[in-house]
Amino acid sequence: MRIGFIGLGIMGRPMAKHLIDAGHELTVWNRSQPGIDDVVGHGGKAAPSPKDVAAASEVVFTMVGDSPDVEAVSLGADGIAAGASAGLIHVDCTTMSPSVTREIAAAYEAKGIELLDAPVSGGEGGAINATLSIMVGGKKDVFDRCLPLFEIVGKTITYCGPTGAGQTVKLCNQVAVSVTNMAVCESLVLAAKSGVSPETMLQAISGGAASSWQLLNLGPKMIERDFRPGFKVWHQQKDLRLALEVARDNALPLPATSLVAQLFASVEADGLREEGTQALVKALEKLADVSVGG
């Protein structure tokens, strides 16, 4: 197929390369040149704008930063809608506002453009290894047509319901991920403050009911003081902001989510927004005056 890809960051680049490796013709655009150069070097073709990407494509993937970025590349003067032919499918993998997703879909309807909201989970490793979890909202028949493409970049693909449902499920995922991350941090701080080896504690609980992806993958990094990002602090904060906005609109209390967002704000205040989300432990270490490793 003729596929477009807009947004070639740490997630978009490997996803785009997988699509090229599967034999698809890829046209790409990114705000900065290094991402374009990387994917073009892998066999992609560069376009001067999202409009031109859409004009050359049957399906366009986007993986950008936040709701305003998606609006710009979708509905802006040089956006997807300006270059698309009727029948184009836009697959948006950005984690963004469910309500803005529905607004874009409504704007597309008059132009005959289909939108799937398809945010992903799995971080950089999942993108590189094509093991992402993909949560998809939109028309079921459009999802079915794009399923072979999803299977190239992901492992667990779930149709969640109508437009916006994929984004809502992704925000649920981020709530679960971030609160579990906080629990891992608290358990490590408790062990260290009590004079127990954090490594021993992790080993002891990792095979039981307390085990989680965060415990097994982020816990050792916290002890080793490895704060390189698989998923950055500021990305996590953006997702938590979106979840709390949805909660506010529905008069829904999310107390643990609110707390972990405040702890991440402390990490950001220390200038660490580009570090991986395992840097959350630094906020707990500061409060407890203890270090879990290093």
Tokens of 248: 């506010």
CB distance 31 to 62 below 8 Å: no
Cα separations in angstroms, 264 against 119, 161, 234: 22, 31, 8
**Residue 32 burial class via C-beta count within 10 angstroms: exposed 0-12, middle 13-18, buried 19 and up:** exposed
Q: Which of 51, 170, 221, 282 is catalytic?
A: 170
Active site residue 170: yes
Burial label, 207 (beta-carbon count in 10 A; 0-12, 13-18, 19+): exposed
* Distance of alpha carbon 46 from alpha carbon 202, whole angstroms: 46
| Residue 176, both tokens | 């679960």
DSSP secondary structure letters along 84-121: PPTT-EEEE-S---HHHHHHHHHHHHTTT-EEEE--EE
The DSSP code for 206 is T
- Secondary structure (3-state) at 22: coil
Residue 225 backbone class (left: φ over 0; alpha: ψ -120 to 50; beta: rest): left
DSSP string for 30-43: -SSHHHHHHHHTTT
Q: Which residues are catalytic?
A: 170
